[in-house]
Amino acid sequence: MVIRILMLIFVSLCSSYKPVSAEPTPSITYLMSEPASLLDLGIFKLNMFLESSRILKEEGLVTSAAYDLGTNRIRILFVMFDKAYNANEGKKYCQDIISKIKMTLNVDSRTGKPLTGEYNNLTSIFSHEEGQNMYHLKKLSDELNQVTEITGRMQINGEKKTWLICNSLLLSNKIMYSEE
């Protein structure tokens, strides 16, 4: 009798079960059918790479990478809001942060050259062909290096609300400064 009751409960549970099925909305279907370019994926991966950098986390920096179509540049931007520096302190701090970002990307800021071999971390971030086509990787690496720029902005001179802007190409040992 107990077995019959358990069987009856089991059969009734199984017969009342309706599989749940959902289909993607039209917007999700559209997004699923549109391919992401390696540039889109690379910028996303670069942002994730910078965000996970221990060196930059120690500074408490938030960085952002984006592609600027108008200037054909991959820009890595950092902004310092929390503290106002005098111009000389600002330049020193900016130089230090640019150096740390370059180190994170495996570039020696003193020489402007990759620390190991011909490639820096950008090549692996923007490619999925590691070791397959060396000519293509070399060309990709060279072009990424030429178009990548690091820009910092920080407030200087306290009440005047003046901004110090510092720029450096990835493979350069020079930093340009301006104020606005």
Task: Give the pLDDT means over successive 10-residue stretches in the chain (180 positions).
Answer: 67 61 80 82 90 78 87 90 77 91 88 74 73 71 88 79 90 91
What amino acid is encoded at 172 in this protein?
A: S
Give the per-residue pLDDT at 44: 92
Give the per-residue pLDDT at 175: 94
User: Burial code of 40-79, b = ≥16 C-beta within 10 A, e = fewer?
Assistant: eebbebbbebbeebeebeebebebebebeeeeebbbbebe
Distance CA 3, CA 1 (A): 5
What amino acid is encoded at 136 in this protein?
A: H
Give the per-residue pLDDT at 117: 65
**Per-domain residue ranges of the chain:** 36-179
Give the per-residue pLDDT at 1: 63
Give the per-residue pLDDT at 43: 92
